[in-house]
Amino acid sequence: MASNTGQALSTDPELIIESLEWIAERHSDLVPLVYRRFYTHYPDARTMFGRDEHGVHQGHMFNGMLMAVIEHSEGRCAPGSIDAWVIDHDLWGVKKAMYRAMFDALHETIRECMGERWNTSFSKAWQTHIYGLADEFERACDKSRLGT
């Protein structure tokens, strides 16, 4: 797709990946930044990771979350995958509201790390897909016992 200036307009997946690549070049690790934000809302959630002193489990969860956002933006979220995440996380004590809080923490961290480079195109792409995905997680929770 081209604009009237002849420059290609970026799609949502391209914008999301571009922002992640830009951040990766400038920030060594987003995982502690995202989880620090999340833990301000759910400090007891730290215990769900047990003795994860080096953040291995958090890193794994974070990577899965980023892949889910990218896949959602590309329209290729596997059917049933969100339901499976919810069922798995239910076993660890994750509550419905925690999903939205985690996606909020990711969104706020991305926005903050982008700094002055953050613009309406990045904002729209991230809001559309991170909160679209959060809505899907909440619907999956409503189908399971987490919705109560």
pLDDT in tens, 92-148: 888 999 999 999 999 999 999 999 999 999 999 999 999 999 999 999 999 886 554
Q: Which domain holds residue 130?
A: 12-147
Domain membership flag for residue 76 = yes
Domain membership flag for residue 6 = no
pLDDT of residue 125: 95
Does residue 79 carry a pLDDT above 90? no
Domain membership flag for residue 4 = no
Rounded Cα–Cα distance for residues 28 and 52 (Å): 19
pLDDT digits (tens, 9 = 90+) for 42-76: 998 888 776 666 667 788 889 989 999 999 899 88
Phi-psi region of 144 (alpha: psi -120 to 50; beta: other; left: phi over 0): beta
Domain membership flag for residue 141 = yes
How many folded domains does the chain comprise?
A: 1
Domain containing residue 49: CATH number: 1.10.490.10
Rounded Cα–Cα distance for residues 70 and 15 (Å): 10
Residues in the chain, how many?
A: 148
Domain membership flag for residue 3 = no
Domain membership flag for residue 5 = no
Instruction: Tokens for 25, please give them.
Output: 């070049």
Domain membership flag for residue 1 = no
